[in-house]
């Protein structure tokens, strides 16, 4: 197969509020296929069905997607409250050990929104249950009304560190992004480098220090119109390059600060 196989972490979903399903957004599959030039493969988020070792053997990279349920706070040593929202413990059981294994092995991944938060938790970090409740912070949640185009519209700048991996990808230190999340990083996990922030100080771009593979993760949703967006395209292209290198039996190039 010419294209690298990209495991897209799915979400548990009820069709018509009744029929259980494992689902993935079409935007994610399109970004992987059209921009990363990979073969999208949706991964059921259920440890009873999926073995992590088998998963790593059949995939060349992973896309940790967004999702409505949040990482359970027990995973970072806190008790659940109403502010933490809903959870998906099955997905937690797949993603958290998978992220750690990918970091150790050098297998590439790109993480988005909930996936971004999963990376921080997997590395020992913690999360704020609701960013908009913090003093001086903005409301980063999806607008409740409007079309898909309005919900995914560019809403704030993200400033990344000069000469960091995101600067090298984007070719600039400030970019415009959408924002559709409620939670965010409180304490960064071990080796988690916060490389980009929103104007209110919210962490928006991270990578794992010293990891032997591609570990770039973002809080926004670059999968929306990824082929057209000047910020999203290089992110998915670089991820695809890393997955192809892995598929070819080589360690992906490490993107980190000079």
Query: How confident is the model over 145-203, as pLDDT tens digits?
Result: 888 888 888 999 999 999 999 999 999 999 999 998 889 999 999 999 999 999 999 99
Asked whether 65 and 114 are in contact (CB, 8 A), the reply is yes
What gap in Å lies between CA 167 and CA 14, rounded to an integer? 40
Q: With 90 as the cut, is the pLDDT of residue 45 above it?
A: yes
Q: Which of 113, 128, 167, 181 is catalytic?
A: 113
User: What pLDDT shows up at residue 254?
Assistant: 57
Q: How confident is the model at residue 258 (pLDDT cuts 50, 70, 90)?
A: very low
Query: How confident is the model over 82-128, as pLDDT tens digits?
Result: 778 788 999 999 999 999 999 999 999 999 999 999 999 999 999 99
Domain ranges across the chain: 5-247
Closest Cα to residue 44, out of 2, 18, 84, 9? 9
Query: How confident is the model over 193-231, as pLDDT tens digits?
Result: 999 999 999 999 999 999 999 999 999 999 999 999 999
Q: Which residues of 7-40 are buried (b: 16+ CB within 10 A; e: fewer)?
A: bbbbbbeeeeeeeeebebbebbbbbbbebbbbbb
User: What pLDDT shows up at residue 233?
Assistant: 98
Question: The tokens of 43 are what?
Answer: 């991964």
What gap in Å lies between CA 165 and CA 176, rounded to an integer? 17
Distance of CA 116 to the CA centre of its chain: 4
pLDDT mean over 52-74: 94
Looking only at the bridges linking them, the beta strands covering 192-197 and 156-160 are antiparallel
What do you get for the CA distance between the two ends of the chain, in Å? 35
Q: Which fold has domain 5-247?
A: Rossmann fold (3.40.50)
113 assigned to active site: yes
Helix (H, G, I), strand (E, B) or coil at 11: strand
Enumerate the H helices of 141-193 as residue ranges: 148-151, 165-170
22 assigned to active site: no
13 assigned to active site: no
Q: Which of 72, 128, 167, 221 is catalytic?
A: 221
Q: Which of 75, 118, 130, 223 is catalytic?
A: 223
């Amino acid at each position: 197969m010419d294209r690298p196989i990209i495991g897209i972490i799915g979400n548990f979903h009820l069709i018509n509020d009744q029929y259980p399903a494992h689902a993935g957004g079409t935007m994610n599959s399109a970004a992987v296929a059209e921009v990363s030039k990979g073969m999208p493969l949706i991964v059921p988020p259920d440890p009873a069905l999926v073995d992590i070792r088998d998963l790593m053997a059949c995939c060349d990279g992973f896309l940790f997607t967004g999702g409505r349920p949040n990482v359970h706070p027990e995973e970072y040593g806190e008790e659940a409250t109403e502010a933490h929202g809903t959870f998906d413990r099955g997905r937690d059981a797949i993603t958290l050990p998978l992220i750690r294994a990918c970091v150790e092995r050098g297998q590439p991944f790109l993480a988005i929104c909930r996936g971004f938060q999963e990376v921080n938790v997997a590395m020992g970090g913690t999360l704020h249950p609701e960013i908009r409740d913090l003093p001086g912070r903005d409301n980063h949640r999806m607008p409740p009304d409007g079309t898909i185009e309005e919900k995914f519209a560019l809403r704030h700048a993200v400033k990344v560190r000069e000469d960091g991996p995101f600067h090298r990808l984007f070719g600039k230190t400030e970019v415009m992004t959408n924002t559709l999340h409620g939670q965010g990083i409180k304490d960064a996990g071990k080796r988690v480098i916060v490389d980009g922030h929103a104007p209110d100080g919210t962490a928006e771009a991270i990578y794992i220090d010293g990891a032997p593979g591609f570990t770039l993760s973002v809080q926004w949703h670059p999968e929306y119109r990824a082929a057209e967006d000047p910020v999203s395209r290089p992110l998915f292209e670089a991820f695809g390059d890393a997955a192809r290198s892995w598929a070819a039996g080589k360690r992906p190039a490490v993107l980190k600060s000079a």
